[in-house]
Amino acid sequence: MQILIAGFQHETNTFAPTPATYDSFVRGEGFPALCRGADVLKLRDVNIPVGGFILAAEAAGHTLKPVIWAGASPSDRVTRDAFERIVGEIVEAARRRDFEAVYLDLHGAMAAENADDGEGEILRRVRDAIGPDIPLVASLDLHANVTPLMLEQADALCAYRTYPHVDMAEAGRRAADLLARVVESGRPACAFRRLPFLIPINGMCTSLEPARGTYAALAKAEAEHDGRVALSFAPGFPAADFEGCGGTVWGYAADREEAEAAVGAIYDRIVADEPAWAIPFLAPDAAVAEAARLARDATRPVVIADTQDNPGAGGDANTTGMLRALLAHGVDGAALGLFWDPDAARQAHEAGVGATIALRLGGRAGVPGDAPFEGRFVVEALSDGRCVFDGPMMNGMHADQGPSACLRIDGVRIAVSSVKAQMLDRNLFRMVGIEPERMKILVNKSSVHFRADFEPIASAVLVAKAPGPMRADPADLPWQHLREGIRTRPCGQSFTPAPIPAETAG
């Protein structure tokens, strides 16, 4: 076949301080930089869905017609300009209909300034362009907020099954298998269930229960149905304030009853485990105190997740709560990163290695309890910010964080970058001369993805809840537009929309 392929990935936190502009996608911000045409095929060896799809499709003898691939760090909404420019290129290529099928590498939790359900709108526009008969499949992130519109417009969707997302390329390969089934047998029947509660992202980690057991049960169910059923579970991204936010289970089969039964069994398991999906958090001081205690006898670093400033979920990677806690406890041998502050990186480069500079570091997210940190820092190392990921997440990706530096204050080293990115690969520390294995305490601006590359070297992992844009507990968010009745945390309160003021009603 001739297969049109394209990708547009963004996880939108509608409560975050910074939007995703077109330039965000040009830079990539922790994803591959925007690419077009034949350059998309160069992503075949990167652990992202389009890479897995390309390898599977080429192995099957198909011809690929690549259009564009664009991804950016999670943040507030995608601007109208960025959405229309990128989707416009995909739709323009789709209108030519010089292909037999379409594959899209999407996230599933994108919201644009002009579309709450970003992927639903993308799939609707592509379907309008290609008509009802050309097969259309897409892969989705595990954090997708899957909507009925998305399922209606696509012939089949499949999601990652690991968090950290070490199986992104595998999801692309499964999308290729789904496409082959659609081409051979036509559009399958689809079953779909929506969870009655939101799940904190830290509770979705698939190396821990109950997520680990849930995905094992999903794979077992597919095997028991001898491959007749294809199942997906997306716990959702619990920071998107629209009716479609939340976890979903869906599946496909030739027989609708078989699909409904398989999806229902997974759904029932998740709902029965509702209390187990909650997760405890530590205050910054408590996290550092516990890390210091553990580090005294440890031969490997203690890792703390600065989860509420995770740029992989909408944070800006520049809050200072964890830095203040490290300094207050007088810890030595600690490193924190990545810290996004282009001004600080520029001043470090201007001053040079060995210089001591006065800075007002970070604190620009505008969240209560956070402020710039004023201090004097030693410039220990400088870098152009370029490295290649060799950990399990996005293995093989070339990252460019712009001018970067290692700044030291007392016993704490800070990896500062000019481009925002989540700390998900040890090489992001190494690019500024910090050897993570030699540190006693590592503070990572990440929630779960860091575990893929850091758990193998960690003596312990703690989760801290310092002030930041990404509320780790979804019940802490000021929701306005969720669907009525959904619980805002496991076993929590049900959401009730605020009443419409009498003067605006009607």
Distance between CA atoms of 305 and 33, rounded to whole angstroms? 26
In this structure, are residues 462 and 326 in contact, taking their beta carbons and an 8 Å threshold?
no
CA-based torsion, 396, 336, 18, 247: positive or negative? positive
Q: Which two tokens stand for residue 163?
A: 């968090």
Nearest partner of 71 among 14, 33, 21, judged by Cα? 33
Residue 466 pLDDT exceeds 60: yes
**Among candidate residues 151, 143, 142, 88, the one with its CA nearest the CA of residue 114:** 88
**Residue 24: which of 110, 128, 108 has the closest Cα?**
110
Separation of alpha carbons 339 and 322, rounded Å: 11
What is the helix (H) or strand (E) element at residue 294, kind and residue range? helix 284-295
pLDDT tens digits, one per residue of 36-68: 999 999 999 999 999 999 999 999 999 999 999
- pLDDT tens digits, 361-408: 999 888 889 999 999 999 999 999 999 999 998 888 899 999 999 999
For the chain, domains (ranges, CATH) are 2-277 (3.40.50.2300), 284-464 (no CATH)
Task: Please tell me the predicted confidence (pLDDT) of residue 502.
Answer: 60
Residues in a beta bridge with 382: 405
Which run of H or of E encompasses 88? helix 80-95
pLDDT tens-digit series, residues 157-183? 999 999 999 999 999 999 999 999 999
pLDDT at site 17: 84
Answer yes or no: pTM beyond 0.85. Answer: yes
Alpha-helical (H) ranges within 353-434 are 427-430
